Structure 1
Amino acid sequence: MEPWNMHHVPSVEMEELDLAFFYVARTEDGRIIGAGGYKILSPEEGKTTLLGVYPEFQGMNIGKALQNARLEAMYDAGVKYVTTNADHPETIVWYRKHYGYEVVGRLEKLCAFSLEDVTHWTTLRMDLVRHFETRAEREIAAAAYIEGNDPHPLNPFPPLMINVCLTGMVPTKVSTPYVPVHVEEIVADAIRVYDAGARIVHIHARDERGLPTPDARYYEAILTGIRRERPGMVCCVSTSGRNWSDFERRSEVLHLTGAAKPDMASLTLGSLNFLSGASVNTINMVERLAMTMQEKGIRPEMEVFDYGMVNLAKYLERHGIIKGRKYFNILLGNLNTAPATLGNLTMIAEALPEDSVWAGAGLGGFQLPMNAAAVAAGGHVRVGIEDNIHYDYERKVLASNEALVRRVARIAEELQRRIATPDETRAMLGLA
């Protein structure tokens, strides 16, 4: 913007100003630090006459406030188009960037005025009606965001989906009292995390002794219990290969129907070693599980621990074994797979097939940084006791699933990403 102390008014370039059509910016002690004027040329045409802010007060949006005030005054008077002349290149850019002006011509200066080495004014014109319509649309969108209905118009990321792995195969009541192992405990914990902001629950069943089981009867009780209390929750069951190698037991849960039918099922895209043992996932096994999921209308929750596992997802898609919207958990920090680094998270996320959504997870002490990185990067989050039983790096505080979800929700709030609704979650996952 042009410092107003470079202008000399009146002159052959500018007639005497009508202060009835002027706005002045003042400090609290009354000092004038900026001014902006306008002139109505006809019922539909208006013109700006002067806009200036003292240099020491520039960069504080004072000029923008003055410009907004005079545009509102002209709009209220019925003006549809506004013309502005400027010679500073940065001023021209400013008008075009913030107000949608278009360059419509140039006007030779009648005397040295403003920038003396520039011999002409650049004439700019804006559609005032369209400007206010667009601003109203932005304000409506922003108000909807505040009410929690839509993403903020300036936030490029979708609402956040939080996926909670409640139990897993390894944690026991000896290692942490917070791990839910019995049917009633798992259902109650799912309710708590849903109320804290989670929309997807990753379920491992345990039997009466608290031991992992593939028995579909336990899954049936868990799924119907969750849906009875929180019907909006997306339920994902495990087909893990850590404890069972045969297809029949791993796929048993996929045959549930009715209120117990899973929305999703885990599909680990390769074999890997954990400290507690191996998870064996041959290509043939992955294909058979994926084909069964497709037959039953269950969406795969694809687990990726290494870059090469993405290749298998693309292979499955080429052969029509997986289709449509794809969901991936990127799990980093295991000793024998990809380390938990921002570089690995970025590399794997960018390598995913088209029409994919992903969630970031860190194992053990890497849970928090990978969760935070995923929120900041526009991905989603997998969190839970299965991946880390501790809340802190020093391993002095045991975590509950609810506490882990609430921490992710706080991080998301600070980054201005609201939590997805159940309907939004299903839409993003490609679920009916």
Structure 2
Amino acid sequence: MYQTKRLNRTDKVIITAALTGAVTTKQDNPALPTQPEEIAKAAIRCWEAGAAVVHIHVRDDNDQGSMRFDKFQDTVGLIRQAKCPVVLNLTSSGGQGFSWEDRIKPFRELKPELASFDAGTMNWLNKVVFMNEPEFLERCGNAMIAAGVKPEIEVFDIGMLNTAKYYLKKGIIQAPAHFQLCLGAPGGMEATVENLLYLVNHLPENCTWGAFGIGRGANEVLLAALALGGNIRVGLEDNVYYNHGQLARSNEQFVERVKRVANEFGRQAATSDEAREILGITKNRQE
């Protein structure tokens, strides 16, 4: 089964906690962190629970999806002030209607170790068009290279994977690439083992990868990704329920489950420094 692992470690799993997202609300789950102090506290708790990476979105003062630089600055500042060594992964896609500059500025100025790179346009939630035009992707990729930020390439369907391969050939994304396989979002591929395996089998050899599922297929994707040697993303951004009909208590509750289940597979949760080594990140930007 580990023949599909690519550059991942067979004995370690990188757990990413996706804390907030752009869509979920406190009405969906009151535990959702939405303001900088809440998000920073959630990030630290997830690191303490075993997450090596935190994926960060921010909200405006009304808790709506946002790319406000001051909110990113406050959130990142609080995590760094706490001397928490977690790997920071900032989104470049905080909702609809933001300029290219709004989307690029947080990672360019704050220089996290990772930032999301959504490798194509899609009908997001079957409601709106999530725009990632070729010119924006080229500008985003080049800005990441200039800032020394590694892209986390988010793939919602096979077309996005093929687009990412094109940018790897063009040098807009640098190898070894890191992919996040995102399954279960309406408008993208369903969260099934079949779809996960299909995407993994079409990844370039020189890469690392992780995966997550949204909704009823979340645990199915989690278990399959572990069996295939993948890394795992979990959190309230992707699922407000821990199990069917059971609201999650917190982001760290998801992290604790992955750590527990991974141990049953003979895999340990990677520390943040181990994650940096696996992902080829050489500089700790929190020092």
How far apart, in 1, do the equivalents of 2:115 and 2:105 lie? 11
Q: 1:184 aligns with which of 37, 42, 47?
A: 37
Query: Is the contact made by 1:242 and 1:277 (CA closer than 8 Å) also made in structure 2?
Result: no
**What residue identity is the alignment partner of 2:257?**
R
2:210 is the counterpart of 1:359 = yes
SS in 2 for 1:391: strand
**What residue identity is the alignment partner of 2:280?**
G
Q: 2:120 aligns with which of 250, 265, 270?
A: 270
Partner of 1:203: 56
Partner of 1:293: 144
Matches within 5 A, 1:74-223: 157-223=10-76
The verdict on how the C-alpha distance between 1:231 and 1:399 changes in structure 2, with shifts beyond 3 A counting, is closer
Segment drifting more, 319-328 vs 242-251 = 242-251
Select the structure of larger CA radius of gyration: 1
Matches within 5 A, 1:375-414: 375-393=226-244, 395-414=245-264
Q: Deviations over 1:129-184 (max 9, x none)?
A: xxxxxxxxxxxxxxxxxxxxxxxxxxx71411001110000111222111000110
How far apart, in 1, do the equivalents of 2:225 and 2:83 lie? 26
How far apart, in 1, do the equivalents of 2:85 and 2:11 lie? 19
Aligned length: 273
SS in 2 for 1:309: helix
Partner of 2:272: 422
SS in 1 for 2:212: strand
The verdict on how the C-alpha distance between 1:245 and 1:218 changes in structure 2, with shifts beyond 3 A counting, is closer
How far apart, in 1, do the equivalents of 2:11 and 2:57 lie? 28
SS in 1 for 2:247: coil
Query: Is the contact made by 1:227 and 1:233 (CA closer than 8 Å) also made in structure 2?
Result: no
SS in 2 for 1:359: strand
Partner of 2:199: 348
Query: Is the contact made by 1:205 and 1:219 (CA closer than 8 Å) also made in structure 2?
Result: yes
**What residue identity is the alignment partner of 1:165?**
A
How far apart, in 1, do the equivalents of 2:200 and 2:83 lie? 31
How far apart are 1:245 and its partner, in Å? 4.5
TM-score by length of 1: 0.61
The verdict on how the C-alpha distance between 1:230 and 1:158 changes in structure 2, with shifts beyond 3 A counting, is farther
How far apart are 1:241 and its partner, in Å? 6.3
Q: 1:319 aligns with which of 148, 170, 180?
A: 170
SS in 2 for 1:381: strand
Query: Is the contact made by 1:191 and 1:230 (CA closer than 8 Å) also made in structure 2?
Result: no
**What residue identity is the alignment partner of 2:73?**
E
Partner of 1:333: 184
Q: 2:104 aligns with which of 227, 241, 251?
A: 251
How far apart are 1:344 and its partner, in Å? 1.4
Query: Is the contact made by 1:215 and 1:252 (CA closer than 8 Å) also made in structure 2?
Result: no
How far apart are 1:230 and its partner, in Å? 4.4
Query: Is the contact made by 1:327 and 1:429 (CA closer than 8 Å) also made in structure 2?
Result: yes
How far apart, in 1, do the equivalents of 2:52 and 2:97 lie? 28
The verdict on how the C-alpha distance between 1:242 and 1:397 changes in structure 2, with shifts beyond 3 A counting, is closer
| Percent identity of equivalent pairs | 37
How far apart are 1:425 and its partner, in Å? 0.4
How far apart, in 2, do the equivalents of 1:232 and 1:241 lie? 24
Gaps of 5+ in 2: 1-8, 283-287
State the superposition RMSD in angstroms.
1.5
Query: Is the contact made by 2:225 and 2:232 (CA closer than 8 Å) also made in structure 1?
Result: yes
SS in 1 for 2:65: coil
**What residue identity is the alignment partner of 1:215?**
R
2:134 is the counterpart of 1:283 = yes
Q: Deviations over 1:297-350 (max 9, x none)?
A: 111011001011111111111111111321111011223221222121111112
Gaps of 5+ in 1: 1-155
Matches within 5 A, 1:30-49: none
How far apart are 1:235 and its partner, in Å? 0.3
Query: Is the contact made by 1:241 and 1:281 (CA closer than 8 Å) also made in structure 2?
Result: no
How far apart, in 1, do the equivalents of 2:11 and 2:135 lie? 35
How far apart, in 2, do the equivalents of 1:298 and 1:244 lie? 24
TM-score by length of 2: 0.90
Higher relative contact order (CA 8 A, sep 6+): 2
How far apart, in 2, do the equivalents of 1:335 and 1:214 lie? 23
